[in-house]
């Protein structure tokens, strides 16, 4: 099993001068630590205008910085908002390829569409059309990263003439594709398009097993027609994360922060919101009361406690063993949530790497090779079903007319003299 860390860059109010600076730099230090400890992935989300819930509006900048500070950990857009209203597909293709080159081929391309009116309405995106817009854009982003030149496209959500989109990524044909999924319907969409799953719902192992079976049954069926130029058959699931040798302390450090993540997520989708005037952390604490204290007291009475990622090393081993048995390929830890502290996050990462990770890493390559061998014929068939955008022959590549009729270039450093006569 592979392991990742996940960042929304949450910052509950009240805010003080320098808090965002501290938040971003501590997150980078945690990724550097995760890289050194042997974690496999670091995922960064893209959201806009979501007070307290996420201050991660430019993940391409954050991940580029992380690329320069790390050596091995894979760097994932988890996710990139791919609808053209957010980011033009050509700009996404250029950014992905640039990051892939700078990171020596460590990029993962997760796609998303947004769920809140705060984001969708601000960018003029019709909620009922967002899925189709995201899939259309994603297919063209992949085409842009592969074809020289990109032949152009006239679609429902954007149009673009023939251009050579540069640079091209180091990974061929392009970085692995993932899709944010929150229910079984989106799991099916990902599978039908040959895309890896980033499951952002916190589900129990039984439900995870159902999702896994649904996903891999479709991957192996004629329904799978890849959206990109490759198939990424993988299922990743987000989990709470707070570890300590003392279970009560793990709950004290992590439970409220994890619950705030879910609380704020629901509030932003299901309730009216006044931009710039939120007070979700205080409202959350008032609503929650002493629930975490009650949970900690109850946990002491059980030798085998299911904290779903919050607890002791033994608790975590049981949690991960159940998830692995369910068919999940990667667990992504949500450690940076609520008001969790940098020190507590680093201590949890170190304790996990020392006491739990080796037990799940020792046979990961063998497991992955066996899975790849099993899926190889199905993936080959899926790729054969895809209708690929065809490269243009040299004679069909259109000529782009000059911007001006003539230009006289002077000495080096001089401005060109332009004539429209």
Mean pLDDT of 396-412: 82
Residues found in the chain: 421
Mean pLDDT of 235-259: 94
C-alpha–C-alpha distance, residues 10 and 76, integer Å = 18
pLDDT, mean over the chain:
93
C-alpha–C-alpha distance, residues 253 and 138, integer Å = 39
pLDDT of 421 above 60: no
pLDDT at position 283 is 93
In contact, 22 and 61? CB cutoff 8 Å: no
Provide the pLDDT confidence category of residue 420 given band limits of 50, 70 and 90: low
C-alpha–C-alpha distance, residues 143 and 174, integer Å = 9
Mean pLDDT of 244-251: 93
Higher per-residue confidence, 415 vs 226: 226
Cβ-count burial of 202 within 10 angstroms (0-12 exposed, 13-18 middle, 19+ buried)? middle
pLDDT at position 288 is 86
Q: Which domains does the chain have, with CATH numbers?
A: 2-385 (3.20.20.30)
Provide the pLDDT confidence category of residue 290 given band limits of 50, 70 and 90: confident
Strands, E assignment, 182-309: 196-199, 235-240, 242-243
Could you read off the pLDDT of 195-214 as tens digits, one per residue? 999 998 777 888 999 999 99
pLDDT of 263 above 70: yes
Could you read off the pLDDT of 33-91 as tens digits, one per residue? 999 999 999 999 999 999 999 999 999 999 999 999 999 999 999 999 999 999 999 99
C-alpha–C-alpha distance, residues 143 and 179, integer Å = 17
The answer to whether the predicted template modeling score (pTM) of the entire model surpasses 0.85 is: yes
């Amino acid at each position: 099993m592979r392991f990742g860390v996940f960042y929304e860059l949450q910052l509950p109010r009240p805010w003080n001068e320098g808090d965002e600076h501290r938040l971003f730099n501590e997150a980078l230090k945690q990724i550097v630590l995760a890289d050194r400890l042997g974690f496999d992935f670091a995922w960064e989300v893209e959201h806009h205008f979501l007070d307290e819930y996420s201050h991660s509006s430019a993940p391409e900048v954050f991940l580029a910085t992380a690329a320069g500070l790390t050596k091995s950990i894979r760097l994932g857009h988890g996710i990139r908002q791919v609808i053209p209203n957010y980011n033009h597909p050509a700009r996404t293709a250029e950014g992905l390829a640039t990051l892939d080159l700078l990171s020596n081929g460590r990029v993962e391309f997760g796609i998303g569409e947004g769920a809140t009116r705060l984001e969708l309405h601000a960018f003029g995106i019709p909620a009922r059309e967002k899925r189709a817009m995201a899939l259309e854009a994603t297919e063209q982003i992949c085409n842009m990263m592969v074809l020289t030149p990109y032949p152009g496209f006239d679609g429902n959500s954007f149009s673009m003439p023939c251009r050579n989109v540069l640079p091209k990524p180091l990974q061929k044909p392009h970085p692995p594709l993932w899709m944010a999924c929150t229910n079984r319907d989106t799991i099916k969409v990902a599978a039908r398009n040959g895309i890896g799953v980033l499951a952002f719902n916190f589900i129990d192992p039984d439900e995870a097993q159902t999702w896994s079976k649904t996903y891999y049954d479709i991957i192996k069926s004629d329904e799978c027609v890849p959206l990109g130029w490759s198939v990424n058959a993988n299922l990743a699931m987000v989990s709470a994360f707070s570890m300590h040798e003392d279970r009560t302390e793990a709950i004290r450090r992590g439970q409220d922060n994890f619950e705030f993540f879910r609380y704020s997520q629901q509030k932003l989708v299901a309730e009216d919101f006044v931009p710039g005037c939120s007070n979700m952390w205080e409202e959350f604490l008032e609503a929650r009361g002493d629930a975490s204290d009650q949970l900690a007291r109850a946990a002491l009475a059980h030798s085998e406690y299911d904290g779903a990622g919050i607890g002791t090393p033994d608790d975590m081993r049981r949690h991960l063993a159940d998830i692995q048995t369910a068919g999940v390929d990667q667990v992504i830890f949500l450690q940076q949530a609520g008001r969790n502290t940098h020190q507590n996050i680093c201590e949890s990462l170190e304790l996990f790497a020392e006491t739990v990770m080796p037990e799940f890493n020792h046979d990961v390559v063998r497991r992955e090779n066996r899975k790849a061998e099993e899926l190889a014929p199905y993936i080959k068939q899926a790729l054969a079903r895809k209708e690929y955008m065809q490269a243009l022959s040299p004679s069909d590549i259109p000529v782009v007319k000059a911007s001006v009729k003539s230009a006289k270039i002077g000495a080096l450093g001089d401005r060109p003299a332009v004539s429209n006569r």
